[in-house]
Structure 1
Amino acid sequence: MLLRKNGRFFILSSLFTTTLLSPLTTTIASINHYDWGEGLVNFSDSTLLNNQQGEHNHWRAIARVSVSGGMTCTGTFIDTGNDSGPAYVITNGHCTGVWNENEFQLNKETSGSVIFNYFIDTKEQQQSYPAKTIKWATMRGHDLAIIELSATVGELKQAGITPMKLATEVLPENNDILIIGAPTDGVPYDQSYMRIAACTQESTHDVIEAHWNWFSAQRNKCHDIKGGSSGSPVINRYTNEVVGVLNTTTAGSSEYAVCFNGAPCELTESRVEKQEDSNYAFPVTQFKNCFVNGVFELNASSCTLDKGNSVTLDYRYGDAKPELDDQGIAHYPSWEATVKGHDYYRYKVTSSHAACQDLYDYSGVISTTLQPVIQDTLGIQEGYRFLCVIGGDSPEYSESWQSPQHATMAHKKLDSTPPTVKPPLHISPGNDSVFVQLGYLPPEVSLFKVKQGKPDSIDCENPEGYRIPFWTNFFFKREELPQVLCVIAADQAGNESTPWRFDIK
């Protein structure tokens, strides 16, 4: 049951209490837990938070983050244990403008603001501090960043902004969590302030989205996770510790978008699977031991974060398909990936995302001067293939090299299956004409070939006359109707569908 005391909620349980199986209940984990969620039902819609009376001062440290070159996101001022040390905010790497799958920003001067006390009823009491330096940010392996502010921990605490503690252990699945963030998309402009959602922590997965490769992302199904929520803290409901940083969701994505922008996929040894209405966050335990006397020290011996001392890859991202020559022989695409950044490298091509982190089966040491381009084929089996590369400056592999745990990665999908989904067609009739618009469904419908004509004079099955349109908008004058629009759709790999016929009347 819930007991409220002085405006606070506690969950009481006894030895005779049985766990309810309904997803709309809060898990009862142990005796006398303080409920920072204040009775909020798991999996309910998110709600706006107030703080005019200081009732949520414990979340005043959760901020609206906007830095130069980045996106509008959410971030959290964290407790580093030293009031005289710099104030740091954790958020996502993509919030700082990192987009390349193997890119790093280290000690990069920046500008922008971090705004605390960002509640709907405290607009006049918001507290803004300049962002000073992006200390560490990446999209490789994880989507995380640390931003240093132009203030100390003590100065923010004196202003009533209490830093939040980072969990030192990964929160196991089936524990209750809260997500607090300030979305900018999908909510009215005047309600784009801190909101709270409640659900349970789920399982941990390796994930790919578009060209990014991520490890150990924890899934949850909290509701109302929208754009601008990136970087939001995932909070242990009963300790108020930050256990993760939210980075992506499948919510709102098209059923045809799989492993695409806004549609991440989970990877296992046997399959690639998209989970509907699922969010993903990275544990914060990897920051453990990276703050020395309150100062972020990436090169501290105790810090296990990726140091960024890596090779880079120049390659063409995207799905690929085999090409048939004049004799009908299939020629399979190759990586054509140029290795830069170190004098030597080792690599492997694998169907396993996780295999990149294991030194087993990497090639011998190769000189980037003598062999700068990896030309291996993607193989002949349809599906995802991963290129894993580690680099160093010594002709023999040693501990000074880039660790396989932080390998430079790329992935491609070998796809020879034509799309079967019918392209969406939107027809808007007017007084004198009819406006027709073809819609994309990437990656399955990413390109069109079209031709048009009178019903008695056009054959959609005849390959002659098709062209790639500059626009996908078409106007038909009333006196010219009826007309036929023939469409061949192509997926991201270039596989073409059979022709679709649309009658415009």
Structure 2
Amino acid sequence: MNYTSKITAIIAFPAIIFALTSCSYAVPAPAEPVLLNNSLGQNNHLNGIGQIFKGDLRYCTAFLVDSRDSENNANGPAYILTNGHCASIWIGTVADRSYEGQIQFNYFQDTQLEGRRYDIQKINWASLAGTDVAVMQLNSSLQAVIAAGINPLKAAPKAPEQLTQVTVIGAPSSAPGLRLSSCTQEPANTTLIKYLTVHTDYQKQDCKGIEPGSSGSPVIDIATGEVTGVLSGTTYGISTGDLCFWHGLCAKPDRRAVLPDQASQSFPIDYLMPCFSEGRFNMNAPACSLKPEFNFRARTNSDVTLYKAPQKEYEKSPAWDVNFSMSTKFFRFKTVRDAHACYLPEDYSNPINLSTGLVDAPIGSMAGLYYLCLVGVDSVEQQLIAGELRNTQILPARLVNPGGISLSEPAPHIKHGAEELLIEYRQTTDRNIWTQIYVGAVDSTDCAGIDSRSYTKIGDSFLVPNEALPLTLCSYTMDRDFNTSAVRTEILQKP
């Protein structure tokens, strides 16, 4: 990649006017990202932003948070903030978990040799339940890190509730060093789905240069210099149809948003700072709102679950069929069409003994998105209180009206290797169309008689050990509207 050609100096931007229903906003056009230097100390105030490493592998961006007490004493450990998904979790909330990795501060493109690495001791708290934020503790004290010349970033006491000019500073994996992107930020409460995570309270930005590796970047209010949130990801480049179908971002005429849905997203951190007491992260601090948490774990797919919507009145509605575990004795649930309702205590089920670990209630009958809200409780008597449901786990599902068209049969490309057979169906994975497969013994597998529930969904390819051959491969194509092809039969022979 010709990285240099992507970088320009900060210049004054022309204004773009976004007309809304009854008012207009002048929003500066986002600038091209700027590669930052610090050999002369000109960006020392940003040297607390760094890169997480796991071995030699560059991972996410993270930043040193200012956790000094009210008297400006740095008595506790040094803490960094990044994304929950950077803490190696994919669903739910975790606390007090070990972590193997390092962070390199002073991570500018012209100070790579001078950058200092610090060991990450553990994950104090990380969550993908309605957010995507992690608090990690270093092996070093905050006082020692500051004494080494590294400057922590101060968190904003309250997330902005209006349009704000911000900078996003991160370390995309396309090239070493920190990049600064200047743009507009807007608070959003439109439901956003990211595979198995559902979000209703986040910020979105129209920044350029957001790439893999930018996860965990601080989003900084230009006016105050304070961090308003942690960058999580982006929906840039996703088609309007896919934004609606998979992510729940369906354009509505009455929406009064300035920025488009194709944007980057960050999550506020204002609620985290009360959890720092005398320089230490403490979930039991009186003002900390991170509890109750119930260590939710799901045994489910890693995407929005699709079901066929009933086409006749007598047809049975699909059921959730969600298996999970929690650290509490009981759980409560409800099904809603608006994910915001998950954070309201009304209409939850009575407490259910967690030994079942299963929700098999009907979802609904109309096509569209549904949300399963799950909370853990320690007793039958425990009441749900509005404002204490931050860790509610929300799982998405979509009921689909079947399309009723026939798709083309799979056309696998079979490549023989020394130890494995590669069966490739398409060069890139497509969320909207995939292959269902069944593999069985040659002498006992009749593809025409295999129940569809016995098939497994795959992406673009899979491997079969040569020692397992020969085998019969049954496969058919399927898309998000439940259109299917005829079943193809293939005999996989030893090379």
* TM-score normalized by the length of structure 2: 0.74
Alignment of 1:438-449 (within 5 A): 438=426, 442-447=430-435
Q: What's the counterpart of residue 219 of structure 2?
A: 234
Shift of 1:133: 1.4
Q: What's the counterpart of residue 59 of structure 1?
A: 46
- Name whichever of 400-409 and 293-302 sits farther off: 400-409
Q: What's the counterpart of residue 106 of structure 2?
A: 117
Q: Distance in 1 between matches of 2:95 and 2:324?
A: 21
CA contact (8 A) 1:447 1:490 kept: yes
Q: Distance in 2 between matches of 1:388 and 1:377?
A: 13
CA contact (8 A) 1:356 1:405 kept: no
CA contact (8 A) 2:219 2:227 kept: yes
CA contact (8 A) 2:160 2:187 kept: no
Per-residue Cα deviation, 1:463-491 (whole angstroms, up to 9, x for no partner): 99xx9999979xxxxxxxxxxxxx97422
Cα pair distance change 1:372/1:197, threshold 3 Å = closer
1:299 aligned residue (257, 260, 284): 284
- What secondary structure sits across from 2:123 in the alignment? strand
- What secondary structure sits across from 1:405 in the alignment? coil
Shift of 1:139: 1.0
Shift of 1:398: 3.1
CA contact (8 A) 2:406 2:483 kept: no
Q: What's the counterpart of residue 360 of structure 1?
A: 346
Per-residue Cα deviation, 1:250-287 (whole angstroms, up to 9, x for no partner): 12446664478xx7444799999995530000011111
CA contact (8 A) 1:440 1:446 kept: no
Q: What's the counterpart of residue 275 of structure 2?
A: 290
CA contact (8 A) 1:289 1:303 kept: yes
Q: Distance in 2 between matches of 1:116 and 1:78?
A: 12
Q: Any gaps of 5 or more consecutive residues in structure 2?
A: 1-9, 19-24, 414-423, 438-447, 450-454, 462-474, 487-495
Q: Distance in 2 between matches of 1:161 and 1:489?
A: 54
Q: Distance in 1 between matches of 2:290 and 2:250?
A: 23
Cα pair distance change 1:69/1:448, threshold 3 Å = farther
CA contact (8 A) 1:339 1:368 kept: no
Q: Amino acid of the residue matched to residue 152 of structure 1?
A: S
CA contact (8 A) 1:70 1:98 kept: no
Per-residue Cα deviation, 1:278-301 (whole angstroms, up to 9, x for no partner): 000001111121111110011111
Cα pair distance change 1:231/1:169, threshold 3 Å = same
Q: Distance in 2 between matches of 1:328 and 1:216?
A: 37
Q: Sequence identity, in percent?
A: 25
CA contact (8 A) 1:74 1:231 kept: yes
Q: What's the counterpart of residue 96 of structure 2?
A: 107
Cα pair distance change 1:472/1:115, threshold 3 Å = closer
The answer to whether structure 1 residue 75 and structure 2 residue 62 are counterparts is: yes
2:229 aligned residue (239, 244, 257): 244
2:185 aligned residue (198, 201, 204): 201
Cα pair distance change 1:301/1:471, threshold 3 Å = closer
Q: What's the counterpart of residue 390 of structure 1?
A: 375
Q: What's the counterpart of residue 344 of structure 1?
A: 330
Q: Distance in 1 between matches of 2:378 and 2:55?
A: 33
Q: What's the counterpart of residue 94 of structure 1?
A: 85
Cα pair distance change 1:442/1:89, threshold 3 Å = same
Q: Distance in 2 between matches of 1:374 and 1:69?
A: 42
* TM-score normalized by the length of structure 1: 0.73
The answer to whether structure 1 residue 410 and structure 2 residue 395 are counterparts is: yes
Q: Distance in 2 between matches of 1:96 and 1:70?
A: 14
Alignment of 1:480-495 (within 5 A): 489-492=477-480, 495=482
Q: Distance in 1 between matches of 2:185 and 2:391?
A: 26
Per-residue Cα deviation, 1:378-416 (whole angstroms, up to 9, x for no partner): 211111111112222222233699943322221211113
CA contact (8 A) 2:429 2:460 kept: no
Shift of 1:158: 1.4
Q: Distance in 1 between matches of 2:343 and 2:208?
A: 33
- What secondary structure sits across from 1:395 in the alignment? coil
Q: Distance in 1 between matches of 2:58 and 2:219?
A: 19
Q: Amino acid of the residue matched to residue 53 of structure 1?
A: L
Q: Amino acid of the residue matched to residue 332 of structure 2?
A: R
Q: What's the counterpart of residue 5 of structure 2?
A: none
Q: Distance in 1 between matches of 2:62 and 2:406?
A: 39
Q: Distance in 2 between matches of 1:20 and 1:257?
A: 29
After TM superposition, the runs of 4+ consecutive aligned structure 1 residues lying more than 6 A away are: 68-71, 267-274, 399-402, 419-423, 467-473
- Name whichever of 272-281 and 107-116 sits farther off: 272-281
| CA RMSD in angstroms, aligned pairs only | 4.4
Shift of 1:306: 4.3
- What secondary structure sits across from 1:234 in the alignment? strand
CA contact (8 A) 2:331 2:354 kept: yes
Q: Amino acid of the residue matched to residue 170 of structure 1?
A: A
CA contact (8 A) 1:69 1:97 kept: no
Q: Distance in 2 between matches of 1:292 and 1:85?
A: 9
Q: Amino acid of the residue matched to residue 337 of structure 2?
A: S
Shift of 1:168: 0.2
Per-residue Cα deviation, 1:8-42 (whole angstroms, up to 9, x for no partner): x999xxxxxxx96558xxx999xxxxxxxxxxx74
Q: Which has the larger radius of gyration?
A: 1
CA contact (8 A) 1:320 1:333 kept: no
Cα pair distance change 1:42/1:50, threshold 3 Å = farther
